[in-house]
């Protein structure tokens, strides 16, 4: 009888959802964010005069202003479509967030990488990729080591398409104003509408100690930016770049589950931490 009870309790435990130890973070990216955002963007691009997508509190990006930015249209194993961002590092390599390939519950089967375009579902140079290497330490519940390399066919450089160097060294970049560029939402309570462009926003880098006040312990492998003034990355920006002084310093990883406009920090994978891992796969 005792053995039966133990087995029953074990069975119940296995059916319980995994508890996020840092409940402020959004986990299971595709079902929480990406699938819904893909539908919004695709519908908006069919509307009159649509020219791109958004980021919170930022400005329109001109074509060719951020030549290294890639958008990801993602085909999931379920057949559903999701979206993320990426950054071109070589003619045949890009970097994104590991959760864009596998978020702990939803697995992608293919990325369509979109370069040199202000729209995600049409235009630009588009290349399919199914060879993705996730960081071996990626933890989808804690959202740590959220880095992946995309291997795709050769894409020639143009005025609108060019790779960006990967930052190295010990600089923590605290206090600098970095640029985030993304294919995500511009407001928590708005859909993606017409007359919008790919957006960029200037975000000050803050210490991990300040970031930890919101999310709990933040490892050195993350870099955080302030969300003051409602300026932030948002839903759909995961995997996209944080750039400073012509270098990639961060990869969009997670924000606060309550929303993007409430002043909470954003967390990125710190590129200098992963420099050797990234460059050895280029």
Which pLDDT value is given to residue 189?
52
CATH of domain 29-53+67-151: 2.40.10.10
Q: What pTM does this model have? A: 0.85
Label residue 195 left, alpha or beta by phi (over 0 means left) and psi (-120 to 50 means alpha).
left
Spatial separation of the C-alpha atoms in residues 235 and 204, rounded to whole Å: 19
Written as six digits, the tokens of 85 are 């961002």
State in words which class domain 177-272 has. Answer: mainly beta
Upper half-sphere CA count for residue 90 (Cβ side, 13 Å):
13
The answer to whether domain 29-53+67-151 and domain 177-272 are alike in fold is yes
pLDDT in tens, 96-117: 999 999 999 999 999 999 999 9
Spatial separation of the C-alpha atoms in residues 277 and 21, rounded to whole Å: 27
* Residue boundaries of the structural domains of the chain: 29-53+67-151, 177-272
Which of 77-86, 106-115, 170-179, 192-201 bottoms out in mean pLDDT, i.e. has the lowest?
A: 192-201
Which pLDDT value is given to residue 235?
65
């Amino acid at each position: 009888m005792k053995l039966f009870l133990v087995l029953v309790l074990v069975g119940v435990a296995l059916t319980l959802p995994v508890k996020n130890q840092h409940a402020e973070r959004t986990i299971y990216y595709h079902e929480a964010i990406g699938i819904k955002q893909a539908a919004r963007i695709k519908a908006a691009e069919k509307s009159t005069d649509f020219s791109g997508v958004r980021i919170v509190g930022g400005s329109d990006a001109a074509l060719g202003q951020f030549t290294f930015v890639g958008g990801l249209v993602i085909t999931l194993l379920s057949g559903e479509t999701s979206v993320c961002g990426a950054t071109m590092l070589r003619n045949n390599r890009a970097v994104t967030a590991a959760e864009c390939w596998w978020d702990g519950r939803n697995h992608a089967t293919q990325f369509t990488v979109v370069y040199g375009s202000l729209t995600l579902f049409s235009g630009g140079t588009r290349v399919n990729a199914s060879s993705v290497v996730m960081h071996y330490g990626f933890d989808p519940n804690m959202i740590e080591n959220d880095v992946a390399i995309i291997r795709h066919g050769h894409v020639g450089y143009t005025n609108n398409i060019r790779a960006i160097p990967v930052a190295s060294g010990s600089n923590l970049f605290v206090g600098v104003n970095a640029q985030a560029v993304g294919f995500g939402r511009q407001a928590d309570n708005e859909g993606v509408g017409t007359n919008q462009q790919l957006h960029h926003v200037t975000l000050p880098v803050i210490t991990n100690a300040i970031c930890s006040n919101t999310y709990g312990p933040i490892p050195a492998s993350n870099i955080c930016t302030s969300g003051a003034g409602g300026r932030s990355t948002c839903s759909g920006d995961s995997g996209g770049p944080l750039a400073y002084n012509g270098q990639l310093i961060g990869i969009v990883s997670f924000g606060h589950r309550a929303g993007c406009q409430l002043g909470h920090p954003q967390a990125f994978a710190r590129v200098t931490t992963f420099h050797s891992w990234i460059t050895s796969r280029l």
